[in-house]
Structure 1
Amino acid sequence: MGLTITAQKAEQIANGVWQLEMSPHEVRLFGAGAKTVGPRSVLLLKNYKFDEKASALSFDLEDAIALNIGTQSEAIAVSAIVQPQKVVAAGGSPVSGVVFGPGDQEFLSLAKELLNPPMAKAAAALLSGVRERSVGDLKRGKARNFSDTPDNFWYVIIQPQIQQLSITVRGTVDHFEPVADLPIKDDRGNTLFKLTSERDVPAALKMIFHAKRKHFH
């Protein structure tokens, strides 16, 4: 068994991605020949153990590769193997069988960055509700917009300036009027509505799953 390194104060910022404190000198242990670009170091982990309660990320010396050696003691560690992410519902209980893909994780990370905590929680609850019933992955567009692949039956834009999510679902306004519990309007032949709080999530999910589908009926 090789030397085990334990990074304290490791903050998980996405599934398989951590922000931690590690000096450039320590990072060189994992590959002195790595590039040096900018202030932040980057490590690739082939295997690891993460203690969420202790905020401790442990890995063997041979299981880490330095991709970049930064100039400051800030580092990002990325797992080479994406493990299923445990999703926690609003009440704090785990939601079984829900896995977020890389695009989903990017959406959640951006929502956490751009939205206030209640709206970021609402965004997470919305996506968890979708993934409980529909396998897929969000794909980011050119800005803060994401579409649900492969079917693209719903589309979401993060709107930090008004702290809302703008959601477009496939189908005309007439198609959604019988089930709409939120204000809706036409969006180039499809239907648009806004998510303004976690209270809106059940109504939003009802409309998302009333959308016209091409795949996975």
Structure 2
Amino acid sequence: MTVTNVAEIEKGLWKFKMPPHQIRLFGEPKSNVGERSILIFSDFIFDPIEKKIHFEADAVTALNVGTLADVLGMSATSELDAKSNQGSNARTSQDDFGSGDRRFLEMVKAELPPHMQEASLLLLKEIRARSSGDLKKGMSRNFSDTPDNFWYVIVQPRIEQLSITVRGPVGHFENLANLPIKDDRGNTLFKVTGPEDVPAAVEIIFHAIRKS
């Protein structure tokens, strides 16, 4: 199968059009909310020149089926992108995470339900494929990214979510954020409630203001 007119947002993350009834052919989705659909590709060939993604139907998982034809596609693993673009510092295997990252995942496993464990691991894999670093645990359930600290995350067991704050005012993110955002003492806060939020979360995180 082939998707055409694919717009690459960044490595392993794309936008394209596909009607909801076609997305349902990939199996029962994990959710049916909002306007945008979310697809995860476990095996594919992306042609940036032709702007096409070639794949087999059984290599696609529908995380969400929206009401419109707008789709976010995401690579299930960034290993290929990491090897070709990020060098030896990129990490995509859980065994290769730093001690702080592993501590975060251990807390998530102990305190959040399975769908949030999946979302947390997928989020961290995507971040580490693009930015080497390690999380540092704070006083409670919060973790800040080192060495830049351009994002930090709080594990919230009571409401079964991740609260993420990124460096930069709300106005810096308004034109691209596909998740609700709000001010957090001059920076910007948003929530991750499941795997379907991960592509939008990654987009926001890597739009954060970085230290020079």
The structure with the larger Rg is: 1
TM-score of the two chains, using structure 1 as the length reference:
0.56
Consecutive unaligned residues of structure 2, counting only runs of 5 or more, are: 1-73, 83-89
Q: In 2, Cα distance between the equivalents of 1:179 and 1:141?
A: 29
Runs of 4+ with deviation above 4 angstroms: none
Name the amino acid aligned to 2:135.
L
Cα offsets for 1:57-89 (capped at 9, x unmatched): xxxxxxxxxxxxxxxxxxxxxxxxxxxxxxxx9
CA contact (8 A) 1:186 1:192 kept: yes
Q: 1:124 to 1:207 in 2, by over 3 A?
A: same
DSSP 3-state at the match of 1:194? strand
CA contact (8 A) 2:78 2:126 kept: no
Q: Which residue of 2 aligns with 1:177?
A: 174
Mapping for residues 1-217 of structure 1, pairs under 5 Å: 91=76, 95=79, 97-98=90-91, 99-215=96-212
CA contact (8 A) 1:100 1:137 kept: yes
Higher helix content, 1 or 2: 2
Q: In 2, Cα distance between the equivalents of 1:163 and 1:120?
A: 10
Q: In 1, Cα distance between the equivalents of 2:197 and 2:78?
A: 21
DSSP 3-state at the match of 2:101? helix
Tell me the CA shift for residue 105 of structure 1: 0.3
Q: In 1, Cα distance between the equivalents of 2:75 and 2:114?
A: 12
CA contact (8 A) 1:130 1:205 kept: yes
DSSP 3-state at the match of 1:105? helix
Tell me the CA shift for residue 136 of structure 1: 0.3
TM-score of the two chains, using structure 2 as the length reference:
0.57
Aligned length: 126
Cα offsets for 1:152-171 (capped at 9, x unmatched): 00010000000000000000
Percent identity reads 60
Measured on the aligned residues, the alpha-carbon RMSD in Å equals 1.7
Tell me the CA shift for residue 94 of structure 1: 7.8
Cα offsets for 1:67-124 (capped at 9, x unmatched): xxxxxxxxxxxxxxxxxxxxxx985x68364131000000001001100011011000
